[in-house]
């Protein structure tokens, strides 16, 4: 945070000191570094009518209200104590429900099962995630790309909302939708990613966060890298989807006309095709070695067709 002030009196020189003398011995240059605050410049001169910007950076080492005091001394042998005060919040998200089923306090959700899916008909599951703290958190979803182009053509994954902001103490219902036109199992990794939050500012981090922290410590070699706030995978889920074959039944399964069959007479028998699936089924009747040009179909209801 930058503070701008002007000198309405005569020219003077100023310097910030730590409240404790032993902390002053650790200072160097024109930057004052406390445990949670940094002031720059820590020493300066300002003429009458001149303006100056003072930068104060807050880097909390713990959660809650933090206060530290500094002494501003002037070259006219006067000084004043100033208190730096700020509140440090930590981010914490929790999966509270899966398809309206409550998740236990210590339970960690890793898999999302989507079963009894009909081909070409989307299936949606709902993940409820709550922001447990009083700090806003930016987020977005990442869906693993298919390495097999043919699989990608036949499947579709969608998450709504796909990005946004977790307001403090707010729960969001995320709709995870899957659709495919081929009957086989599918596995997909999805991640809820948070932005602009350092690992150190995450309260009760899940296993995925702890693992990322270990990996990043091994590659961070300088102070500049440590100041970067990259995106973090807060939750990683495996979506396991099972496409079912459509169930239909034909009654009767086969019919033999009684012999001998008189020639040049029309002979008929009715078959019923029943849809035993939850969703609609496309159908087509085709004759082999046909002697008639027509097959008459009659819809009895939304589940049974007679022909």
pLDDT at 194 over 50: yes
Helix (H) or strand (E) holding 211: helix 207-219
Q: What band does 218 get if pLDDT is binned at 50, 70 and 90?
A: low
Summarised one tens digit per residue, pLDDT across range 30-81 is 899 988 899 999 999 988 889 889 999 988 877 778 899 999 999 888 999 9
Tally the C-alpha atoms within 13 A of residue 46's C-alpha that lie toward its C-beta: 20
Q: Which CATH architecture has domain 93-243?
A: Sandwich (2.60)
DSSP 8-state class, residue 26: T
Of 73-82, 237-246, 248-257, 266-275, which one has max mean pLDDT? 73-82
pLDDT at residue 83 in the model? 93
Strand intervals (E) in 216-283:
232-243, 248-251, 272-275
Distance CA 187, CA 198 (A): 30
pLDDT at 158 over 80: yes
The mean pLDDT of 156-182, rounded to a whole number, is 91
Q: What band does 224 get if pLDDT is binned at 50, 70 and 90?
A: very low
The mean pLDDT of 84-94, rounded to a whole number, is 86
pLDDT at 131 over 80: yes
| CATH of region 2-88, choose from 3.90.1150.10, 1.10.3720.10, 3.40.50.300, 2.60.40.10 | 2.60.40.10
**What residues form DSSP beta bridges with 4?**
53
pLDDT at 226 over 50: no
Smallest CA-to-CA distance from 141 within 231, 209, 64 is with 231
Alpha carbon 65 to its chain centroid, in Å, reads 29
Q: What band does 150 get if pLDDT is binned at 50, 70 and 90?
A: low
Distance CA 73, CA 42 (A): 11
Which residue reads 């998450």 in tokens? 159
Q: What band does 299 get if pLDDT is binned at 50, 70 and 90?
A: low
Give residues with Cβ within 8 angstroms of 19, minimum separation 6: 68, 69, 70, 71, 81
Question: Model pTM?
Answer: 0.61
Summarised one tens digit per residue, pLDDT across range 12-25 is 898 999 988 888 87
Which residue reads 């890793």 in tokens? 110
Distance CA 59, CA 264 (A): 97
């Amino acid at each position: 945070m930058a503070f701008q002030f002007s000198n309405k009196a005569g020219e003077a020189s100023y310097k910030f000191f730590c409240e404790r003398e032993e902390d002053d011995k650790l200072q160097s240059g024109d930057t004052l570094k406390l445990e949670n605050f940094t002031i720059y410049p820590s020493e300066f001169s300002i003429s009458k009518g001149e303006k100056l910007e003072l930068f104060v950076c807050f880097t909390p080492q713990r959660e809650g209200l933090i206060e530290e005091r500094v002494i501003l001394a002037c070259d006219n042998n006067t000084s004043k104590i100033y208190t730096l005060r700020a509140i440090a919040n930590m981010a914490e998200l929790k999966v509270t429900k899966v398809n309206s089923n409550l998740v236990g306090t210590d339970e960690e959700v890793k898999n999302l099962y989507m079963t009894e899916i009909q081909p070409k008909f989307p299936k949606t599951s709902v993940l409820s995630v709550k922001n447990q703290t009083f700090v806003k958190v930016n987020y977005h979803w990442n869906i693993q790309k298919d390495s097999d182009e043919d699989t990608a053509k036949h499947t579709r994954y969608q998450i709504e909302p796909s990005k946004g902001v977790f307001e403090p103490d707010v729960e969001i219902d995320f709709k995870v939708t899957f659709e495919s036109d081929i009957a086989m199992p599918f596995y997909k990794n999805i991640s809820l990613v948070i932005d602009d939050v350092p690992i150190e500012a995450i309260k009760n981090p899940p296993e995925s966060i702890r693992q990322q922290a270990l990996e990043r410590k091994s590659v961070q070699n300088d102070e500049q890298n440590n100041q970067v706030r990259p995106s973090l995978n807060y939750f990683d889920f495996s979506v396991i989807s099972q496409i079912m074959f459509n169930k239909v039944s034909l009654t009767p399964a086969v019919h033999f006309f009684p012999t001998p069959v008189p020639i040049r007479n029309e002979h008929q028998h009715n078959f019923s095709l029943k849809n035993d699936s939850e969703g609609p089924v496309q159908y087509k009747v085709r004759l082999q070695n046909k002697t008639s040009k027509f097959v008459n179909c009659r819809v009895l209801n939304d589940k049974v067709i007679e022909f």
